[in-house]
Structure 1
Amino acid sequence: MDLRFGDSEPTDEERAAVDSLLGPPESSWAGAARDGTDPADLRWARGGREARDRRDLLLPGLHAVNDRVGWISGGALDYLCRRLTVPPAEAYGVATFYAMFSVRPRPATVLHLCTDLACAAAGAGDLCAAVERRLGPGSGVRVERGPCLGLCERAPAALAVRAGRSELRATAVCAPATPDTAVHAATAPESAPAEPPPAAAVPQTGEPTLTLLGRIGTADPTSLDDYRAHGGYTALRRAFELGPAGVIREVTDAGLVGRGGAAFPTGRKWQATAAQPDHPHYLVCNADESEPGTFKDRVLMEGDPYALVEAMTIAAYATGAHKGYLYLRGEYPRALARLTHAITQARTRGLLGDDVLGQGYAFDIEIRRGAGAYICGEETALFNSIEGYRGEPRSKPPFPVEKGLFGKPTVENNVETLVNVLPILTMGAPAYAAIGTRTSTGPKLYCVSGSVDRPGVYELPFGAALGELLMLAGVRKGLRAVLLGGAAGGFVRPDELDIPLTFEGTREAGTTLGSGVVMAFDDTVPLPRLLLRVAEFFRDESCGQCVPCRVGTVRQEEALRRIVERTGPAAADDIALLREVGRAMRDASICGLGQTAWNAVESAIDRLGAYE
């Protein structure tokens, strides 16, 4: 392998950042100074095989440098590559894949301003322009317009990140943001106002009917004792009573399906993984919710982190996994802090580690931070990201239950899916299956934002009507359209609010439930501009691996931009082109990003007459 290292040297800060993760280098081949004290250094390399086995530490290493310095220089990248025996060209491809990293010099402080759908409808354009005027060159702050920050219930949103040593590093979430509060967060993130509690995002807080959201606002999310006082770890104890096969049977009988949008039966996935003879097995929690309009997993992780830790332990026990990875959005600093604390406390109290609850079962969880890539929500792209490669989807088969993370059998679920396992075990499969409908069982979380008076996360049983949900959220007058499923979903008209919120009900209505996004838009929102933003989002987030998506998302954006600029009969040719490009992406793209990139635009044209 020709690694082709350059001549750039890391600074002391960059070297210290990498060494804080990997420990000091053992030889000059791994980046230590070649001072001649060890003659063997001049004759042979040591530790290459072991270093290559640590390729999965590439993403944490990039985070370490970015957190310390604010960007990743050629010298830092070379040093990290020497430590891990990774070709610099490959590491450069990984570093440039993620929106939160930069390989060009930039200030230590970066202010991310969301320009996606909910924020755009709430005036993000004016906010960005005002902030950019005040934080121009010389301010020491880099202002970056970017995709959804997962704060749609408090739009418009901003996130300030200041790099530095641990005592200087700071993040500040600012939502709803004004020019004054955003500038303050960027210039003094350590003194920015505290975020509202997670319960502020749950308008139903305190209602006795809540199942998944019941502890948010009533139990202290930082206290393991309080979690246990509110029923925590009852489900794990029952899981040990049932045994792995019994847990899978309960989940199967309950009818639980994935809550990320694909709606694949969870019990079947767990059974297929558990039955694989190849070991080790892995569990991966997909907490990288990046769909514009989605924030339910963030609220669960911030408001009830121990529930996710317990649910991951149950899933791992059922599928024979002893190691779990929690892949967390890089834009969720409070969720990172809450989960890090929860995992540490669970480990200290014997709820994670070599002997969970004294049952002789070993399991532990490692958090891996994403760095701003929507495509990593796709399970195989997520595996590549953890392994230290670009987050590009893999062709299937083989499926993850056979060859997933590190080529081993892997079960992957998102946060909401896993948290549903707790009530299944505490109330029993029949009682859980009695909630909702025959084919869509249990409660469902919905992320409601846009033109409503009470945005937030709502919990309703499957089968409730769309209009019922919007009435709870206080939909405003002049409703123009409702987007279901986020940017990859579809629009419905105001006269279609009787659609039942189930996977089969939305499918029969010609739309999708997706991950539970419900975004309302009134007649003050310019729909063509909104659709253009959808196209920009998919163009930015395409990984570029396959031609239909790489080229199609660009052509879709170009056509929509032309339509916005010259509305009228002249747009007919571009609409015909959009349909042709959309069909090609849907039929030939490797993964769901390209296959759904045309959905929202198509529904706006056909159901809303967006360009008439």
Structure 2
Amino acid sequence: MRIENRLQLQLWREECKEKHQKEKCRILVCGGTGCLAGGSDKIYARFKEMSEGMDHVTVKIGEEIAHPGVKMSGCHGFCEMGPLVRIEPYNYLYLKVKLEDCEEIFEKTILRGEPVERLMYHDDHKVYETQEEIPFYAEQTRLVLKNCGHIDAEHIEEAIAAGAYESFEKAVFEMTPEAVIKSVLDSGLRGRGGAGFPTGRKWSQVAGQKEKVRYVVCNGDEGDPGAFMDRSVMEGDPHRMIEGMMIAAYAVQAHEGYIYVRAEYPLAVRRLKIAIEQAEEKGLLGDNILGTGFSFHLHINRGAGAFVCGEGSALTASIEGKRGMPRVKPPRTVEQGLWAKPTVLNNVETYANVPMIIKNGADWFCRIGTKESPGTKAFALTGNVKNTGLIEVPMGITLREIIFDIGGGIKNNKKFKAVQIGGPSGGCLVESQLDSKMDFDSLTKIGAMIGSGGLVVMDEDTCMVEVARFFMNFTQRESCGKCVPCREGTKRMLEILERIVEGNGKLSDLDELEELADMIESTALCGLGKSAPKPVISTIHAFREEYEEHILKKHCKAGVCSNLRTYKIDLEKCKGCSKCARNCPVNAITGKIKTPFVIDNEKCIKCGTCKDNCAFGAIYTE
């Protein structure tokens, strides 16, 4: 049934809430990309089969009687422990669930309400029964991600029961467009895509343009290595983001919107399409929404996988069917964006914050985070940390709290070395900066930036020169090539870094890297080009001795750079089996059977075949 007015929407919302409340027992199987890769779709199908095949079975929860319902949710966030299954109303969270665990979960938990402790989170001999008790979740403030993992992402009724479109309803029936913009402006919400530009100011600039044809665009490209915050929102709670775009459209009186999603996110695209179709069917999108006379149509554009299309002018060019390349500014996107019309362009997380601000007020939002960076920020915590996954924390939290309280510290109890923040656009922060606050202004002061929100944690065994080379290789490969500083400058920097990791570097290379970086930062056309050298410069400043060791001593302390490894045989461990010698492609290993063998490092090509074939762990690198 199409919703024609506010009363019908309110009645339908009550129906959805009532239906949701009647589902006393819910099996929420994580349907995020990570868990699906681990087989959660098969786990969901098995639970569905068991539930539907037992229609006569009811579950007693206290004094309530219920039939179990099975849902495919979005990402729960605790990606390290997937596939994940949450059981309500007990709030049990089962980790690393396998298909063969389904019967035990169904028999013990669904039918008898008993926990399966072996599938729960364990730490220091303590079992955490509920999801909310687990330190990974307990230390977070999940607002944007509140519904991810808690609702069925492919059914609009679930989103409506959780409060979707309440804020849009309030905006169009109780507020003027100017009042909406003022609320967002007063909240201090800053763009979560990296630059941190005030969202309300951007909206007011679009609303103030003489041109009345305007557009609202969502940047869901998210091309940074290790970042998947936007993807999780699009997959797990698409209606929240769509509602934010609708509020923006009402605020600037735009009637067309575009969601630009990278092609590598097929699940996000599918769930967005489902969400848009369901919203259109119910009359929440399209012409004359809720009888207000306001119309808004939403379209999806799939990107071609170019990192540069995360830049605003390149993104709008791509939507128009042109090659995605940045242009000279001004004019800015707010003046001449999509099809040279005023355009509101924000990323997924920014739009997902808007409904909460409209519903709870600007003052409520300002009480979270810091004065200059209010609200929360979602981060993708990856790398050499015990608990990897998607987290959401208040702005102003320290790196130490994120890595050691939420992340559980460094894997295998190794020593923390650095964290790459903000992907290729960010820089490396070291141990002395662990108490740095994670907000826009604090990070800018120390030469870093939040960027999209990727956090790659590195331990003592990481080669920082190779890290710099990896990120420079990425940015050079992804350069659109339009401006010389980025096209040629990043190529020269990459060539120098490759020489260094191969053992052919010169001390003067470090000065040349810094000169090139300064030139690129000063003259590149777009923000992505200007920030390209950050990983290199931050590692040179913090780990210059590693660069010098590579150059002067031809040695990689971490043993990562293959050309700088020296392979040796532990004479006490070697059994003289000759397997290493027999597999060496250049005959660099000699010896007699049952006596220790020796590697001739003049002949050795450092391929590592000997180490891979040694059954006694006698071969090591230094």
Q: Do they fold alike, i.e. is TM over 0.5?
A: yes
Q: Which amino acid aligns with 1:461?
A: P
- Aligned partner of 1:355 in structure 2 is 288
Match in the other structure for 2:157: 225
Determine the C-alpha separation between the residues in 1 that align with 2:37 and 2:150: 25
TM-score normalized by the length of structure 1? 0.67
TM-score by length of 2: 0.66
Structure 1 residues 124-147: Cα deviation after superposition (integer angstroms, max 9, x where no partner): xxxxxxxxxxxxxxxxxxxxxxxx
1:174, CA displacement in angstroms? 4.5
Distance 1:503 1:347 in 2: 37
Change in Cα spacing, 1:210 to 1:197, as seen in structure 2 (3 Å) is closer
What does 1:276-315 correspond to in 2, within 5 Å? 276-315=209-248
Show the 5 A alignment for 1:140-151. none
Tell me which residue corresponds to 1:511.
Answer: 448
Given that 1:484 and 1:517 are in contact with CA atoms closer than 8 Å, whether structure 2 keeps it comes out as yes
Paired residue secondary structure (2:418): strand
Q: Deviations over 1:78-107 (max 9, x none)?
A: xxxxxxxxxxxxxxxxxxxxxxxxxxxxxx
1:217-258 Cα deviation digits (max 9, x unpaired): 111111111111111111101111112111101000000010
**Is the CA contact (8 Å cut-off) linking 1:273 and 1:319 kept in structure 2?**
yes
SS of the residue corresponding to residue 547 of structure 2 reads coil
1:269–1:411: 8 Å Cα contact kept in structure 2? Answer: yes
Paired residues of 1:350 and 1:358 also in contact (CA < 8 A): no
Is the Cα contact below 8 Å between 2:73 and 2:236 reproduced in 1? no
Q: Which amino acid aligns with 1:198?
A: C
Question: 2:480 — aligned with what?
Answer: 543
Residue ranges of structure 1 left out of the alignment (5+ in a row): 1-149, 155-172, 177-194
**Match in the other structure for 1:555:** 492
Q: Percent identity?
A: 43
Q: Aligned ranges for residues 241-390 of structure 1 at < 5 Å?
A: 241-390=174-323
Partner residue, 1:467: 400
Paired residue for 1:479?
A: 416
Which of 547, 565, 574 does residue 611 from structure 1 map onto?
547
Cα gap change, 1:303 to 1:202, in 2 (>3 Å): farther
1: CA distance between counterparts of 2:312 and 2:420? 24
Q: Following TM superposition, by how much is the alpha carbon of 1:440 offset from its aligned partner in structure 2, in angstroms?
A: 0.6
CA drift of 1:475 comes to 2.4
Q: Which runs of 5+ in 2 are unaligned?
A: 1-31, 40-71, 81-92, 94-130, 549-622
Contact 1:492 1:608 (8 Å CA) reproduced:
no
Q: Whose Rg is larger? A: 2
1:199 counterpart residue number = 76
Q: Distance in 1 between matches of 2:241 and 2:447?
A: 33
Deviations 1:15-42 (A, max 9, x none): xxxxxxxxxxxxxxxxxxxxxxxxxxxx
1:497 equivalent among 428, 434, 438: 434
Cα distance, 1:359 vs structure 2: 1.4
The alpha-carbon deviation at position 479 of structure 1 amounts to 1.5
> Does the alignment pair 1:585 with 2:513?
no
Distance in 2 (CA, whole Å) between partners of 1:469 and 1:587 is: 33
C-alpha displacement at 1:292, in angstroms? 1.4
Of 317, 324, 333, 1:391 maps to 324
Letter in 2 for 1:557: L
Cα distance, 1:352–1:537 mapped onto 2, change above 3 Å:
same
The equivalent residue for 1:599 is 534
Q: Counterpart amino acid of 1:502?
A: D
Number of matched pairs = 425
Contact map agreement 2:74 2:148 (CA 8 A) in 1: no
**Which residue does the alignment assign to 2:12?**
none
Post-superposition offset of 1:342 = 0.1
Q: Is the 1:202–1:458 Cα contact (8 Å) retained in structure 2? A: no
Q: Distance in 1 between matches of 2:539 and 2:229?
A: 25
User: Match for residue 390 of structure 2?
Assistant: 457
**SS, match of residue 382 in structure 2:** strand
In the other structure, the counterpart of 2:585 is none
Residues 45-71 of structure 1 deviation map (CA, whole Å, 9 limit, x = unaligned): xxxxxxxxxxxxxxxxxxxxxxxxxxx
C-alpha distance in 2 between matches for 1:216 and 1:388: 33
CA contact (8 A) 1:326 1:365 kept: yes
Deviation at 1:371, TM superposition (A): 1.1
Which one-letter code corresponds to 1:318 in the other structure? A
Give the superposed CA RMSD: 2.1
Encode CA deviations 1:291-341: one digit per residue, 9 max, x unaligned. 112110001111101111111111111111100000001100110110000
Counterpart in 1 of 2:101?
none
Q: Provide the residue aligned with 1:215 in structure 2.
A: 147
CA contact (8 A) 2:77 2:391 kept: no
Runs of 4 or more, structure 1, over 6 Å off, are 202-205
- Give the letter aligned to residue 516 of structure 1: G
- 2:254 alignment partner AA: A
Within 2, Cα distance between the matches of 1:571 and 1:293? Answer: 32
Q: Which amino acid aligns with 1:517?
A: G
CA distance change for structure 1 residues 197 and 383 in 2, over 3 Å: closer, same or farther? closer
Query: What does the per-residue CA deviation read over 1:190-219, in whole Å, with 9 as the maximum and x for residues that have no partner?
Result: xxxxx9951144789656952111111111
Give 1:96's aligned residue.
none
Query: What CA deviation, in whole Å up to 9, does each residue of 1:473-516 have, x standing for no partner?
Result: 12212221111111111101123210011111112223222222
Look up the equivalent residue of 2:274 and give its one-letter code. Answer: H
Check the 8 A contact 2:465/2:539 in 1, yes or no: no
Alpha-carbon distance, 1:534 to partner: 1.0
TM-aligned CA distance change 1:588 to 1:529, over 3 Å: same
Matching residue's letter, 1:222: E
* Structure 1 residue 387, shift from structure 2 partner: 0.8
1:255, 1:433 within 8 Å by CA — same for their partners in 2? yes
Report the Cα offset of residue 358 of structure 1. 2.2
Q: Find the aligned partners of 2:443 and 2:184 in 1 and give their Cα distance.
A: 24
1:415 and 2:348 are equivalent in the alignment: yes
